Structure 1
Amino acid sequence: MQEASFSGLIKAIFYMIAFYYIFKFLARIFLPVLVKKAVQKAGQNFQRQQQYSQSDSWQQTRTKNDEIIIDTTNAKKPRETKKVGDYVDYEEID
């Protein structure tokens, strides 16, 4: 069985502080690179989706020359307000 010692406590605190500063240093170096790559990938995905939707809608309008279709699925629909319960007015009792 091992006993806790003051020198063991000091070592553990030193290792925790060292790990914190090493992690902080490495994060400053590598985190901007990782974020930049994630933003670029998201931009590429967005661009690909945009091109697909534009080419898809363009093909639909070209195939049907005498018929124009307006897609209203993205139109704003009025939201219903739901009544949850009755309003109860409370009075203070002295």
Structure 2
Amino acid sequence: MEMASGSSFLRTLAIIILSYYLFKFLMRIFAPIIMQKAVNKMQEKMQEQFKQQQEQQNKTSQPEHSIPKEKKVVGDYIDYEELK
């Protein structure tokens, strides 16, 4: 096994630190844009679901071809009491 020299260690450490700060800088720029797109997409999905629910409620509450049913006359209702 070979030992790493001090200069290669410092170079690797500098690359890691620079990568970290570059990532941090880019996230400050792009994170708000990404979050805004995610929020807009979620809002569109919720509006679509709301519209579907409204359409379903309208279909179930107002039948299109409702025919009024005639009541059958079967006579008077008689309430019987039990005798002991």
Q: What TM-score, normalized by structure 2, do the two folds share?
A: 0.71
**Which residue in the other structure is 1:22 paired with?**
22
**Which residue in the other structure is 1:81 paired with?**
none
One-letter amino acid of the structure 1 residue matched with residue 55 of structure 2: S
**Which residue in the other structure is 1:54 paired with?**
54
Cα RMSD, aligned residues only = 1.8
Could you say which structure has the greater relative contact order, defined with CA pairs below 8 angstroms and 6 or more residues apart? 1
Q: Which runs of 4+ in 1 moved over 3 A?
A: none
CA deviation after TM superposition for structure 1 residue 2, in Å: 4.6
CA deviation after TM superposition for structure 1 residue 51, in Å: 0.6
Q: Which blocks of at least 5 consecutive residues in structure 1 are unaligned?
A: 67-94
> Kindly, what percent of the aligned residue pairs are identical?
33
Q: Which blocks of at least 5 consecutive residues in structure 2 are unaligned?
A: 69-84
Q: Does the residue aligned with 1:63 lie in a helix, a strand or coil? A: coil
CA distance in 1, matches of 2:17, 2:3: 23
| CA distances 1:4-56 after superposition (whole Å, capped 9, x unpaired) | 11111100110010000100010011111000000000000000000100111
CA deviation after TM superposition for structure 1 residue 3, in Å: 3.3
Aligned residues: 66
Structure with the higher fraction of residues in helix conformation: 2
One-letter amino acid of the structure 2 residue matched with residue 18 of structure 1: L
Q: What TM-score, normalized by structure 1, do the two folds share?
A: 0.64
**Which residue in the other structure is 1:32 paired with?**
32
One-letter amino acid of the structure 2 residue matched with residue 53 of structure 1: Q
Q: Does the residue aligned with 1:36 lie in a helix, a strand or coil? A: helix
